[in-house]
Amino acid sequence: MIGKNWKYRSILLFITFLGGTGTLAEEIGDFTGLTLTIGTAKRKVLPLEPIEITITLSNDTDKPIKGEPVIHPGAGFLKIYVAAENEPFEQFRSADWLTLSIFSKPIIMQPGFRRSVSGYLYYEHPVNPDKELHGRYIIEAPGIYRIKATLKEVRSERRIESNVLTIEAKEPKGDDAAAYEYLRSLRDIKDKDVYYGYFLMRDFERVRHVRTQKVLDKKEEFLSRFPKSRYARYVRYSLGLTYRREKEEEQAQQGIKLLEKAASYKDFFLAKEALLGLIRDAIRLGETDRAKKYKVMFARRYPNAEEGRDYIEEMYGTPAYWLSFIWPWPLILLGAAAGVFLFILVPLLKKKARTSIKQR
């Protein structure tokens, strides 16, 4: 009797297991159920200006989804498309996103799963470099532009499409207009050594050579002619990255000054990268006081940043950190007190003294 009961129980458990497995398989969602989102912190830019974007893959369903969340642009599965006003979408191949060989394994993305990657869109290499000297910028001229992304599943042809991001390129004015025309004029240069597509953003990590020097000279000329233009912040950043690697003390210091200026812009998306570069350089050179100053600045400005998290945790709560919040105010109050004394109290005391003398 006991043996028969165990036999029935075993059959029942096996049937239950098969049923449970079938139910579990049904609960795994499809790749196309994932959500792809493209966003930016700045929707109004100038023509030729780089655009910072964040692409997020998320599971907003109530089911687990199996797949490979390979959303790095260089892997080839994520594609970016751009359309000028009243024009069809065309694929945009950023010159700054190198093709990568990425090996991944499928994972189960539970409800609430999110993975993001940030980068910038700026310049595309020529489609036919043998016939074309120059490529194109993502934002060539004033107007309304639409940007979207698609993500292909690694082991199939299924794709998902993102929302459409709308960017307004405003008409440059004043210094920006003059700088814009200068940048456009670089198209007419037939010298391959002065590759205008790299002008605003590209720094030079390799050994200095003739081509590099020509571009650096152009950058210096640009800063001397258009120092107050919005484009100048990109040139300062890229030129600072180049000069800070120089062995000559004078040029290295010039690079530091350029990066400090780039880091001071509050609405500049590369300011954080400039500040991180300054911190790493100061640490590498053993300049602890300068590194501490930059770390405090970073902790104040980017308290929730993932990159540089150790700098934030190191500085948070230290006297230098809290002093950085109140430091300008003692100086301001002292100046105000001196002003009151010189321009209000001193004249009153003189007037009182003269009145006292007359009464005598």
Report the DSSP beta bridge partners of residue 78. 151
Which residues, in sequence order, are bridge partners of residue 45? 169
Amino acid at 142: P
Q: Which of 259, 250, 305 is nearest to 280 (CA)?
A: 259
Residue 356 has pLDDT above 60, yes or no: yes
Residue 161 sits in a domain of what CATH number? 2.60.40.3880
**Domain span including residue 165:** 33-171
Which of helix, strand or coil describes residue 307? Answer: coil
Sheet holding 114-121, edge to edge: 35-39, 51-58, 114-121
More confident residue, 262 or 354: 262
Q: Which two tokens stand for residue 35?
A: 């959500």
- pLDDT at position 322 over 50: no
What is the pLDDT at residue 339? 66
Distance (Å, whole) CA 194 – CA 189:
7
CA 41 to chain centre: 10
Neighbouring CB atoms inside 10 A of 264's CB total 14
Phi, psi of 179 (to 5 degrees): -65, -40
60 vs 67: CA distance, rounded Å: 14
How far apart (Å, rounded) are the C-alpha atoms in residues 272 and 257?
15
216 contacts 206 by C-beta, under 8 angstroms: no
Mean pLDDT across 232-252: 85
Has residue 82 been placed in a domain?
yes
- Largest CA-CA distance found in the chain, in angstroms, rounded: 130
- Angle 133-135-137 (CA atoms, 0-180°, nearest 5)? 145
Instruction: Tell me the mean pLDDT in the region 208-212.
Output: 55
Residue 147 lies in a domain: yes
Query: Facing residues of 151 across strands?
Result: 78, 160
Q: In this predicted structure, what is the pLDDT of residue 23?
A: 42
Contact by Cβ (8 Å): 201, 241: no
Whether 287 maps to a domain, the answer reads no
Q: How far apart are the first and last CA of the chain?
A: 130
In a domain? residue 38:
yes
At residue 63, the pLDDT reads 92
Q: Considering the domain boundaries, does residue 179 fall inside one?
A: no
Closest CA relative to residue 147, chosen from 57, 220, 79, 245: 79
353 lies in some domain: no
Closest CA to 196 of 170, 222, 175: 222
Q: How many domains does the chain have?
A: 1
Report the C-alpha gap between 29 and 158 in whole angstroms: 14
pLDDT the model gives residue 301: 86
Give me the percent of the chain exceeding a pLDDT of 90. 28
- Could you read off the pLDDT of 65-119 as tens digits, one per residue? 988 887 776 667 888 999 998 899 998 877 555 444 455 678 899 999 999 888 8
- Indicate the pLDDT class of residue 46, thresholds 50, 70 and 90: very high
For 157-185, what is the mean pLDDT?
94
**Burial tier of 197 (Cβ tally within 10 Å: 0-12, 13-18, 19+):** buried
Query: What mean pLDDT, rounded, does the chain reach?
Result: 78
The residues pairing with 58 across neighbouring beta strands, listed in sequence order, are 35, 114
pLDDT(129) > 90: no
Token couple for 89: 């979408």
Q: How far apart are CA 321 and CA 257, in angstroms?
A: 23
**Residue 247 tokens, joined:** 């062995």
Q: Of all helices (H) and strands (E), which one includes residue 352?
A: helix 346-359
